[in-house]
């Protein structure tokens, strides 16, 4: 109760920050697992695209094949609570991914493809930051570093 009261009056620390030293805690096996899953999803999307069409193949470009590995790694290293908060961030990222795809849909065939991919990535970054800011505004406890 006292901790809750303290938290309600304390400012939450929701501003993103970078901690390059944390790279030391990353195991090669974790990266290798994610690399392998990313490679697998890429191959599956390409095979489906070739067999059935680019549109259905495109659905699999947003498949959550990496999600179980990522969340399991986070849970193993940092606990279930952090894995859940990681999933909350993934909701934000996936909404931004809709923006990425929409930019691609509207701009491919009309503009230079390299420009389109850059614009789509920029759209993902901008939307991700905006949606995260909204999340921080309405659910600050979920974004508070002190409660991580």
Partner 1 sequence: MTDVGILALRALAGGSLVALFALVSEVVKPKAFSGLFSAAPSVAIAGLAITVVHEGAAEARQGSVGMVVGAIGLAGCCVIAVGAIPRLKAFWGSLAAMAGWSAIALGLYWSEFIGGR
User: Site for partner 1 (CB under 8 A): how many residues?
Assistant: 91
> Nearest Cα to 100, choosing from 127, 133, 72, 69?
127
Shortest reach from residue 10's CB to partner 1, in Å: 15
Does residue 16 bind partner 1 (CB under 8 A)?
yes
Q: By CB under 8 A, name the one of 8, 19, 29, 51 that touches partner 1.
A: 19
Q: How far apart are CA 114 and CA 108, in angstroms?
A: 10
Reported residue count of the chain is 148
Strand (E) or helix (H) holding 45: helix 28-52
Does residue 86 bind partner 1 (CB under 8 A)?
yes
Q: By CB under 8 A, name the one of 3, 4, 8, 109 that touches partner 1.
A: 109
Nearer to partner 1, 11 or 23 (CB): 23
Does residue 113 bind partner 1 (CB under 8 A)?
yes
Shortest reach from residue 13's CB to partner 1, in Å: 8
Shortest reach from residue 120's CB to partner 1, in Å: 7
Does residue 101 bind partner 1 (CB under 8 A)?
yes
Contact 47, 54 (CB under 8 A): no
Q: What's the token pair of residue 113? A: 């493809």
Q: How far apart are CA 100 and CA 123, in angstroms?
A: 6
User: In sequence order, what are the residues at sequence separation of 6 or more whose Cβ sits closer than 8 angstroms to the Cβ of residue 64?
Assistant: none
Q: By CB under 8 A, name the one of 3, 5, 10, 62 that touches partner 1.
A: 62
């Amino acid at each position: 109760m006292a901790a809750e009261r303290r938290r309600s009056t304390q400012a939450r620390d929701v501003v993103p920050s970078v901690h390059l030293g944390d790279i030391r805690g990353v195991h090669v096996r974790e990266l290798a697992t994610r690399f392998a899953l990313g490679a697998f999803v890429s191959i599956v999307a390409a095979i489906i695209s070739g067999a059935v069409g680019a549109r259905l193949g495109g659905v699999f470009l947003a498949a959550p094949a990496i999600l179980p590995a990522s969340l399991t790694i986070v849970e193993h290293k940092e606990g279930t609570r952090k894995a859940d908060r990681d999933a909350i961030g993934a909701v934000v990222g996936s909404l931004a991914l809709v923006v990425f795809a929409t930019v691609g849909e509207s701009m491919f065939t009309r503009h230079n493809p390299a420009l389109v991919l850059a614009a789509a990535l920029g759209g993902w970054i901008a939307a991700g930051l905006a949606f995260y800011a909204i999340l921080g505004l309405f659910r600050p406890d979920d974004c508070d570093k002190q409660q991580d």
